[in-house]
Amino acid sequence: MAADNRSARPERRDSAAPGRRGAEQHRIALRDRNRNWRRHHLLVARQSWARLFATPLPTLITLAVLAIALALPGFLLTGLANLQRLSDGWDHEPRISLYLRADLDDEAADRFSRSLLLRDDLSSVELVSRTQGLVEFREMSGFGNIVDLLDENPLPAVILVQPASSGITELPLLRARLQELAEVDEAVLDMEWLQRLNAFVLLAERTVLVLGLLLALAVLLVVGNTIRLAIESRRDEIVVVKLIGGTDAWVRRPFLYTGVWYGLLGAVLAWCLIQFSLLLLSEPVSELARLYSSDFEPSGLGVAGALLLLGCSLLLGWLGAWLAVGHHMREIEPS
Amino acid sequence: MALISFDNVSKRYPSGQEALSNVSFTLREGEMAFLTGHSGAGKSTLLRMIMLMERPSQGQLVVGDQNLSRLPRRELPYHRRRIGVVFQNHQLLFDRSVFDNVVLPLQICGYDTEDASRRVRAALNKVGLLDKERLNPISLSSGEQQRVGIARAIVHKPQVLLADEPTGNLDPQLSEEIMKLFQQFNRVGTTVLIASHDLGLIERMRHRTLVLRNGRLIADGRG
């Protein structure tokens, strides 16, 4: 009977013995065993789920702790992603502003800007003539009246150039070369604050990573401790199951499912916490963005973020349970 | 064919106490035997060794075609599935019904739910508890609990049935009924080994009897 396997193996050996006397032995075909194995998994999963809610209050408290520990890094990561999105919008267009010497007239400025167009280290050149600059200043600053009081236009002509390459090391060199030109009074690279922002984002990323790892450890310990208590309360059952031939995997299974359920429910609760917090923040953020005349809209966790949260949470739940069971199961032996 | 064979088996505890010394005997397939002796003579130790709850310090112990001293840990569950055990303290689980207690070995072996239910009912019928399958074993009398333990031990039709003082707390009439049950299982081919100190009962049953004293096998014959 080729379909026999493990549990039926001893019986198979005996049934091969000639003239054998004894009780009819059970054989289970492999196909049936696989089906029964799947059914058993479903049963254990259902029972573990039901067990969670047999003691609703302790379960709820554990879940709340898990949700908070999971939500905090999730929330911070979402904030960070928003910050990065905000800075990315500017990051791609580093510009150098060339303030021309004040004694250069509009015609000379125009000639100079045309000559810049021929350079292959610049990808675009935009001249803001003195008159144009004055008009824009009048419109944007609200100091129009003061400007009218002045005899002559105090603003220099400005050429905004976009470097062909935006490498972090090449930009200062290009700025220095442009500064050397006779027509240029001052060349300013609009980048320092961006570098600072990037450094800040990097620091925040690291902080969130460290915090996330610590909180992941907390989740592991919380699940592990909860499972340890569950194992303790089912000690008799484990002893009996081991005595009647339950494998380690069999003993482990309900606890692993419990860990996975904790992971799942913890992730769902954490997602709710994150979305709720973002909802509370979205109005002030939009208001702030409006004040900066930006149409920035804060984004939520998103599908990828939610899946990442779920995946991490399930993994931590399973791992916490696995570590706890592995550690305690060898101690519990029939005696 | 020898099903259980002890060859010069000794068990010494780290404390220096010797629970069994140089025990040798074989139990053939389909045989029924009693194991007796004063308390502390080594009866439980001997049964526990067959279950591999303890390993011999010395000597060979073979069950079926398996030398237990060479059995790796991962094979242990499959070894125990061939053996049904009735414990003196029943070892029932009080967080579930009689039915759920008895079905446990079948679930572990991977039986189909319907098939398992059928076999559980057959086992409960055999011990006369079919009408109590839905009750919690804690609500049953000691004798009934013992019979639930027996149903659980035989439900998956093990090759060997071991019982450690199965009539320990029972009155003589109940004890006799339980022993008759074991005889019935033996008649359909199960090898049975019962540890008991109830000498009167053992004599009336007229089966092979192994007598232990201070860890030594001092007699082996018909009771």
Tell me the average pLDDT across B110-136.
92
Instruction: With a cut of 60, say whether residue A253 has pLDDT above it.
Output: yes
- CB under 8 A, 24+ apart: contacts of B111-120: B111/A26, B111/A28, B111/A36, B111/B156, B112/A28, B112/A32, B112/A35, B112/A36, B113/A36, B113/A39, B119/B155, B119/B156, B120/B151, B120/B155
A50 and chain B: CB distance < 8 Å anywhere?
A: no
Report pLDDT for A26: 53
The pTM (predicted TM-score) of the whole model is 0.74
**Cross-chain Cβ contact B108/A246 below 8 Å:** yes
Q: Which two tokens stand for residue B176?
A: 């006799």
pLDDT digits 0-9 by tens, B59-100: 999 998 888 888 888 899 999 999 999 988 888 999 999 999
pLDDT confidence bin for B120, thresholds 50/70/90 = very high
pLDDT at A262 over 80: yes
Residue of B nearest to A38 (CA): B110
pLDDT higher than threshold 60 for residue A17: no
Q: Cβ(A69)–Cβ(A215) under 8 Å?
A: yes
Q: Shortest Cα distance from B67 to chain A (angstroms)?
A: 13
Give A193-228 pLDDT, tens digit per residue: 777 777 888 888 899 899 999 999 999 999 999 999
Residue B135 lies in a domain: yes
d(CA B139, CA A15) in angstroms, rounded, equals 40
Decide if pLDDT at A57 tops 90: yes
Question: Distance between CA atoms of A230 and A221, rounded to whole angstroms?
Answer: 14
- Give the tokens for residue B51: 């279950």
| Residues B97 and B133: beta-carbon distance below 8 Å | yes
What are the tens digits of pLDDT across the range A110-131?
888 888 888 888 888 888 888 8
pLDDT in tens, B191-208: 999 999 888 888 888 899
Please name every residue paired with B63 in a beta bridge, in sequence order, or none if there are none.
B4, B66
**What CATH number is associated with residue B138?**
3.40.50.300
Which residues 64-123 of chain A have a CB within 8 Å of chain B? none
Number of Cβ pairs closer than 8 Å across A and B?
106
The packing angle between helices A248-291 and A30-54, to 10°, is: 60
Tell me the C-alpha distance between B75 and A247, whole Å: 9
Rounded to whole angstroms, what are the CA distances from B41 to B37, B60, B166, B168? 6, 20, 17, 16
One-letter amino acid identity for A121?
A: D
pLDDT at res. B85: 94
Could you give phi then psi for residue B97, rounded to 5 degrees?
-75, 170
Q: In this model, does residue B142 exceed pLDDT 90?
A: no
Q: How confident is the model at residue A3 (pLDDT cuts 50, 70, 90)?
A: very low
The shortest C-alpha distance from A19 to chain B (Å) reads: 10
Both tokens of residue A199? 């450094």
Q: Identify the pLDDT of residue A259.
A: 96
pLDDT at position A4 over 50: no
pLDDT tens figures, A135-192: 887 777 777 677 777 777 778 888 888 888 766 677 888 888 888 888 888 888 876 6
Residues in chain A: 335
- Among A31-45, A215-229, B202-216, the range scoring the smallest mean pLDDT is A31-45
Q: Of A3-12, A28-37, A243-252, which gets the smallest average pLDDT?
A: A3-12
Close Cβ partners of B40 (under 8 Å, ≥ 6 residues apart): none
Segments in chain B forming alpha helices (H):
43-50, 76-80, 98-109, 113-126, 142-154, 172-187, 199-205
Burial A203-226 (b: 16+ CB within 10 A, else e): ebeeebeeebeebbebbbebbbeb
> What percentage of residues in chain A have a pLDDT greater than 70?
87
Query: What is the C-alpha separation between B48 and B20, in angstroms, rounded?
Result: 12
A90: confidence class by pLDDT, cuts 50, 70, 90 = low
- pLDDT value, residue B101: 95
What's the CA gap between B150 and B84, in Å, rounded? 8
- Whole-number pLDDT of residue A315: 96
Q: Give the CB-side neighbour count of residue A13, counting CA atoms within 13 A.
A: 12
Single-letter amino acid code for the residue at A314: L
Q: Which of residues 242-261 of A touch B (CB under 8 A)?
A: 242-248, 250
Q: Is residue B10 part of a domain?
A: no
Residue B24 counted as domain residue = no
Does A60 touch chain B if contact means CB atoms closer than 8 Å?
no
Say if residues B152 and B144 touch (Cβ distance below 8 Å).
no
Write out the two tokens for B206: 């007229």
Cα separations in angstroms, B170 against A34, B41, B149, B165, B178: 42, 22, 14, 10, 9
| Tokens read off for A60 | 């709820």
- Class of the CATH domain delimited by A95-190: alpha beta
* Domain count for chain B: 1
ipTM of the complex: 0.89
Any domain includes B18: no
A89 phi/psi in degrees, rounded to 5: -60, -30
Least confident of A24-38, A120-134, B134-148: A24-38
Does the structure show a pLDDT above 70 at A13?
no
Q: How large is the C-alpha radius of gyration of chain A?
A: 35
Query: In angstroms, how far is the first alpha carbon of chain A from the final one?
Result: 37
- List phi, psi (to 5°) of A55: -125, 80
Inter-chain residue contact B81 with A10, CB threshold 8 Å: yes
Q: Locate B173 and state its tokens.
A: 């009439």
Determine the pLDDT at residue A279.
87
User: Residue A327 has what pLDDT?
Assistant: 84
Say how many residues make up chain B.
223
Q: Above pLDDT 90, what percent of chain A?
A: 33
Does residue B107 lie in a domain region?
yes
d(CA A299, CA A301): 7
Beta bridge partners of B33: B193, B208
Residues 126-145 of A with CB under 8 A from B: none
Of the two residues B28 and A298, the one the predictor is more confident about is B28
Identify the band that residue A19 occupies on the pLDDT scale cut at 50, 70 and 90.
very low
Helices of type H across chain A: 9-15, 30-54, 56-91, 106-117, 130-141, 144-149, 170-180, 192-233, 235-243, 248-291, 302-329
Query: Is beta strand B2-12 parallel, antiparallel or unpaired with respect to B83-86?
Result: unpaired
For B39, the domain range is: 31-54+74-222
Start-end of CATH 3.30.70.3040 domains in chain A = 95-190
Of the partner residues A17, A236, A245, the one whose CB lies closest to the CB of residue B81 = A245
Q: What band does A27 get if pLDDT is binned at 50, 70 and 90?
A: low
Residue of A nearest to B114 (CA): A36
- B178 part of a folded domain: yes
A16 pLDDT above the threshold of 60: no
3-class SS at B169? coil
Interface check for A41 against chain B (CB to CB < 8 A): the answer is no
Q: Check whether B34 has a pLDDT greater than 80.
A: yes
Mean pLDDT value across residues B35-56: 90
Sequence-distant (6+) residues with CB within 8 A of B204 are: B176
Contact A160/A126 with Cβ under 8 angstroms? yes
Q: For residue B205, is it within any domain? A: yes
